[in-house]
Structure 1
Amino acid sequence: MSAGKERIFRALKDVVQKPGNAICADCQLPEPEWASTTLGIFICLKCSGIHRNIPDVSKIKSLLLDPWEDSQIQYMAQHGNETAKEKYEAFVPMYYYLPTYMDCQVLREQWIRSKYERKDFTEANKPLAYATGYREGFLWKRGRDNGQFLNRKFVLSEADGILKYFAKNDAKEPKAVIKVDNINATFQPTKIGNPNGLQITYLKDNSTRSIFVYHEEGKEIVDWFNAIRAVQFHYLKVAFPGASDYELKHKLTRNFLKEGYMEKTGPKQTEGFKKRWFTLDHRRLMYYKDPLWKPISSINDKPQTS
């Protein structure tokens, strides 16, 4: 390495080591190896791929592979992740889901586009599609019996505290009415077989039910997800007036702690092991015939026999 390149490399390394720059500005993955030279932020490989899709906003360079100019390094030093956060995340709603490197592509992509392309969080009280308290639209919902995805109308109402969907577009009565206080929504692209797949879980007659949906547009399904969180947040503020916003945020939708197949014996000692899909949700362990079936049984945190 020439003396000039070594000097530039050391200068760039010094900037990366400044507070906030040692993790990806968008997903918090440690040791980012890429940067946006227009936004002045350091990002990881996966987030850099999303930034490449918005070239009018973000220009990407590798910290290790691309040549750097002194003016670019100076620009990065004057900006950096903490400065960008103060600008582009200044007014993120408390209920908005902040994805990390553990989350799926659609969540991270819409988070990045919301910040830098649409600038949703740079000014107070900016109108947001998921913050109106009411949402109506169509989602592709998986049929319970045939497994096919059919276009269904969904309505979310903060005033009524419910999410409902209709079996037919012109139906006057909903197929299901779900109270928002017992809804959990989590993205499940692999399980559902669609990059925008969302699983909505709720309780009915003390039994866990799930709806599997998706939308062709990533922004639409993420807006539905955050609209559910916004309505839940409003409900919790009324139900728990003494709680802080930070406390209420952690009562909103959550990802499953663990999912996967395990071999399980039948209720009788003579029965052999059968492959079952297990889900650990908060303090409830459920198992299914396969990932998209309704639960065969659930085990909560109280001791039970089986």
Structure 2
Amino acid sequence: MTENERAARTLKHVLQKPGNGSCADCGADNPECGSCSLGVFICLGCSGVHRSIPDLGKVKSLRLSHWEDSEVQFMSERGNDAMNAVYEAALPVYYYKPTHRDFNLADRPALQSQKITQICLTKTNLCSRDGMLMKRGRDNGQFLNRRFILSLRDGTLKYYTKLDAKVPKAVIKVDTINACFQPDKIGNPNGLQITYLRDNITRNIFIYHDSSREIVEWFNCIRAAQLHYLKVAFPGATDAELKPKLPRSFLKEGYMEKTGPRQTEGFKKRWFTLDHRRLMYFRDPLDAFAKGEVFLGHRDHGYHVTIGLPAGTHYSGTWQYGITIETPDRSFLFTCETDTEQKDWMSHFNAVMNTRMSPQEYTEKILKHEHEGD
């Protein structure tokens, strides 16, 4: 056995240790590279980011590179879990670590340069912010420069149509906000979707900035401001209890067909967004307002989901993979294009309905009854 064959075999064994089977930075499965500087295993896409960072750029392919015995020993003594516990120890609770699901391979540098941003962000005030962002118009779809102000004191995010405008176009309460990276949907590598409640109706706005660092800091500012609100609202809660309530990616998005409340209307193709217990649907993924919304409670309170459509349902569409959601008030009928999509939606619906509801979710149920359009 040659020296390199021996090294490759040892590295393969080290990869089997807990935490090493996914990229230390973005979480993608089966990392192909190792950082000889940090002692972590990373994917090919993230390796390019590491190589661009001075003093941290010693990266090798696990399969193609020659590894010295000392380098293999270095990797075996460290590993993803141990080293991330060190590198991320000072991160505040609100800091969001982007995953491979948040961006395309080509967009990876926009959100992924963790070892730089983790150090810088902990030294930055991420609770209040004032700056210009490109915002998509609700009616014309054009992106125009708008001034945004995030205020920790007021607990609001405001935006203005002009830099010197005195009256904001909108005032958004931070406690109603969810936000997630949406590069594909928005068509920009630094795209961010902000979802919030206005007059008890869900509203979406879509923004981006030419600087990836800027949009990441805006996102973390929103999370920091919301964490501040949650600590005041729930003084006895721990950081671990509050962290899941911070802005996060949607559970699932995609197209399904649906029929109306009488279940005699034709099935229409709609874009669906599952944000924990809220299943919203839109005519277009970039719509500002949802056409309708379904609240998904716990199965002990009369919420159930089954594969297929009720017997006798009149259906003339092209998608044959049905789903029926039963609520205490009525049933909702959907169809998916493939059985894979059907199973994936079913898995998410069941996971939500098997999760106990919090007191806040009971209040949300009272305030937001199921409603739907066409």
**Superposed pair shares fold, TM > 0.5:** yes
- Counterpart for residue 272 of structure 1: 266
Q: Distance in 1 between matches of 2:17 and 2:274?
A: 39
String of CA shifts for 1:39-66, please: whole Å, max 9, x gaps: 2211122322332333542222111111
Distance in 2 of aligned mates of 1:67 and 1:185: 43
Counterpart in 2 of 1:7? 6
Structure-1 residue corresponding to 2:235: 241
Q: Deviations over 1:121-142 (max 9, x none)?
A: 7xxx952242xx2100010000
Aligned residue in 2 for 1:59: 58
Q: Does the alignment pair 1:299 with 2:298? A: no
Match of 1:173 in 2: 167
Alignment partner of 1:208 is 2:202: yes
Q: Tell whether 2:79 aligns with 1:77.
A: no
Distance verdict in 2 for CA 1:272–1:155, change over 3 Å: same
Q: Give distance in 2, aligned partners of 1:34 and 1:114.
A: 16
Deviations 1:113-160 (A, max 9, x none): 342x35517xxx952242xx2100010000111100000000001110
DSSP-derived class of the 1:250 partner? helix
Distance 1:285 1:89, change over 3 A: same
Shift of 1:300: 1.5
* CA separation of 1:100 and 1:269: change in aligned 2, threshold 3 A: closer
What one-letter code is carried by the residue in structure 2 that aligns with 1:194?
N
Structure 1 equivalent of residue 307 of structure 2: none
**What's the CA shift string for 1:69-114, capped at 9, x where partnerless?**
2232233234432442243112110111123333325996466534
2:123 maps to which of 127, 144, 153:
127
In structure 1, what is the Cα distance between the partners aligned to 2:18 and 2:181? 31
CA distance 1:112–1:289, change in 2 (3 Å):
closer
Q: How does 1:245-256 map to 2 (within 5 A)?
A: 245-256=239-250
Q: Give, in angstroms, the shift of residue 271 of structure 1.
A: 4.4
- Please list, as runs of the form range in 1=range in 2, the aligned pairs for 1:102-117 lying within 5 A after superposition: 102-104=101-103, 109=109, 112-115=112-115, 117=116
Please say if residues 129 and 223 of structure 1, whose CA atoms lie closer than 8 Å, have aligned partners that are also in contact.
no
Aligned to 2:89: 90
Gaps of 5+ in 2: 297-326, 331-371
SS in structure 1 of the partner of residue 31 of structure 2: coil
SS at match of 1:51: helix
**Selected match of 2:275 from 278, 281, 293:** 281
Q: Structure 1 residues 192-201 or 23-32, which shifts more?
A: 23-32
Per the alignment, in what secondary structure is the counterpart of residue 128 of structure 1? coil
In structure 1, distance between residues paired with 2:285 and 2:204: 11
Give 2:284's aligned residue.
290
Distance 1:126 1:213, change over 3 A: closer
Give the distance between the partners of 1:112 and 1:99, measured in 2 at CA: 6
Which residue number in structure 2 is paired with residue 147 of structure 1? 141
State the distance in 1 between where 2:237 and 2:33 align. 40
Could you tell me how far 1:16 is from its partner in structure 2?
Answer: 3.1
Paired residues, number: 299
> Which deviates more from structure 2 when the two are superposed, residues 8-17 or residues 237-246?
8-17
Alpha-carbon separation, structure 2, partners of 1:186 and 1:119: 19
Q: Deviations over 1:234-270 (max 9, x none)?
A: 1100110111111011111122112111223355666
The verdict on how the C-alpha distance between 1:140 and 1:76 changes in structure 2, with shifts beyond 3 A counting, is: same
* CA–CA separation in structure 2 for the residues paired with 1:14 and 1:210: 47
The residue that corresponds to 1:159 in the other structure is: 153
Q: What letter matches 1:243 in structure 2?
A: A
For 1:99 and 1:90, the matched residues in 2 are separated by: 16
Per the TM alignment, residue 178 of structure 1 is displaced from its structure 2 partner at its CA by 0.6
**Maintained 8 Å contact 2:26/2:112:** no
Counterpart of 2:317?
none
- TM-score (norm: length of structure 2): 0.73
Query: Which SS does the other structure have where 2:83 is aligned?
Result: helix
How far 1:188 sits from its partner (Å)?
1.1
Q: Work out whether residues 99 and 108 of structure 1, in 8 Å CA contact, stay in contact via their aligned partners in 2.
A: no
- Contact 1:27–1:108 under 8 Å retained in 2: no
Q: Give the whole-Å Cα distance in 2 for the aligned partners of 1:112 and 1:291.
A: 25
Q: So what's the TM-score if we normalise by structure 1?
A: 0.88
- Alpha-carbon distance in structure 2 between the residues aligned to 1:86 and 1:100: 17
Per the alignment, residue 361 of structure 2 pairs with: none
Q: Percent identity?
A: 61
Structure 2 equivalent of residue 196 of structure 1? 190
Q: Tell me which moved more, 183-192 or 25-34.
A: 25-34
C-alpha separation between the residues in 1 aligned to 2:229 and 2:149?
A: 17
Query: What's the secondary structure of 2:9's corresponding residue?
Result: helix
Q: 1:206 to 1:140 in 2, by over 3 A?
A: same
Supply the RMSD in Å over aligned alpha carbons: 2.5
